Amino acid sequence: MRRQALVFWGLALLILSPVYRYIGVRLISESALPLAAAVLGWTALAIHMTMVPASFVTGRLAKPSKAVDLFHWATYLGMGFLALVLPLLAVRDLAEVAWRLLADPVAHARVASAGVSGEGVALAATRLGNLAIVIVSLVATASGVSAARRVARVKRVTVPIAGLPEALVGYRIVQITDVHVGPTIKGAYVRRIVDEVNALDAHLVVLTGDLVDGSVANLREHTRPLADVAARDGRFYVTGNHEYYSGAEAWVREVARLGFTPLLNEHRVVDVRESARLVVAGVTDVHAGRMVPGHRCDPDAALGGAPPADVTIFLAHQPNTARHAARLGAQLHVSGHTHGGQFFPWHLPVRLTTPYVAGLYRVGAMWLYVSRGTGYWGPPMRLGAPSEITLLELARAD
């Protein structure tokens, strides 16, 4: 364990060092700040860089305490702030390159003939630009924190199903996903989610993974409110990738104790009023087999032997299994994982990894819904991708 931690720490610092150096050079050194301010700035960056990998270790191993919580808040707020500073610096650098390539040389000559120091103008522009970047990033961070800490709003989505029987018209499926109970999300936050869910009078409630970032021993009290989630016809759960960093097998047992039915590559039949029938199938996370061999994701096993049904609902943490589920005959695939990018502009890299970022998609004859998540991960921020409690309501396609 100690060797793995050292390797992780070394790799993290190797990756982070050039990023933090770039921010420091552009934001501190090139502003020609007074020596004391420059030393303070570089020291803060160096300390924060070591805090980032430490936060991932303490989040899973350290016993909760006020000091540990304060450490995580400081780390994640700093991460969010710097994640906004970095792209703004990059955009400014690209603008400077474009200006140098396209600017009229005669204009430079006019500035020089007017007796204006080119170096003085450049330094003033750099300082002004850096000040603007810091202010914009601070304001955006504050706005993002405010948005993330509000209880997730209900997003209502109508899912049209061909040939839907009358008994299932208006059937309500509530999705909770990517809560990430852990360093900055505690029981009070979870309780507010449960209260919102219960106000929707759901027929089914589905929990599609990434519930936690930490062990059962450390977080059991904070997930306890989930035992009070109400649903007429059942509550179902599938694992996400973060459960496998936190002791997936123990969490499967704990979530079952809270009253949810885990679906580990399996299905359940739900008989609804007036003889209507649902099949609810679920798979483990697509990468689960790397950490728990017995949890290898298997959509075929999940729907193997399933009886005919009016609607087949397929639960998977990541939307990667959508095409496979469509071939197996599912009508609705429900996922999370992407967070919708969580905050601008980091939704752009997400779009490079999957075509399914957030919302309702058509995959063959099947509908795929990808939630932006009910909580958040890492920086307690949401910008341009608000968290959601999803209410999926079945309707006739015709």
State in Å, rounded, how far the first CA of the chain is from the last one.
58
**Quick one: tokens of 283?**
């798979």
Higher-pLDDT residue of 42 and 114 is: 42
Asked whether the predicted pLDDT for residue 382 surpasses 90, the reply is yes
Q: How many CA atoms lie within 13 A of 257 on its CB side?
A: 12
pLDDT in tens, 192-201: 999 999 999 9
Distance between CA atoms of residues 371 and 104, nearest Å:
49
Q: What is the mean pLDDT of residues 159-182?
A: 96
What pLDDT sits at residue 109? Answer: 55
Give the CATH class of 151-396: alpha beta
d(CA 318, CA 5): 27
What does DSSP say about strands 266-271 and 277-282: parallel, antiparallel, or unpaired? antiparallel
> Quick check: helix, strand or coil at residue 191?
helix
- Quick: pLDDT tens for 25-38: 999 998 888 999 99
pTM of the model: 0.90
Domain(s) labelled CATH 3.60.21.10 in the chain stretch across: 151-396
Q: What is the pLDDT of residue 4?
A: 61
Q: How confident is the model at residue 11 (pLDDT cuts 50, 70, 90)?
A: confident
Number of H helices, E strands in the chain: 11, 12
Burial of 192 (0-12, 13-18, 19+ CB in 10 A): middle
* pLDDT mean over 120-148: 91
Structure confidence at residue 121 (pLDDT): 74
Q: What is the DSSP string of 119-182?
A: HHHHHHHHHHHHHHHHHHHHHHHHHHHHHHHSPPEEEEEEEEETT--GGGTT-EEEEE----BS
- C-alpha dist (Å) from residue 137 to 74, 89, 134, 289, 348: 16, 11, 5, 39, 18
Residues 204 and 235 sit within 8 Å (Cβ to Cβ): yes
The yes-or-no verdict on residue 253 having pLDDT over 90 is yes
Q: What's the average model confidence in pLDDT over 333-349?
A: 89
pLDDT of residue 57: 78
pLDDT at 398 (0 to 100):
73
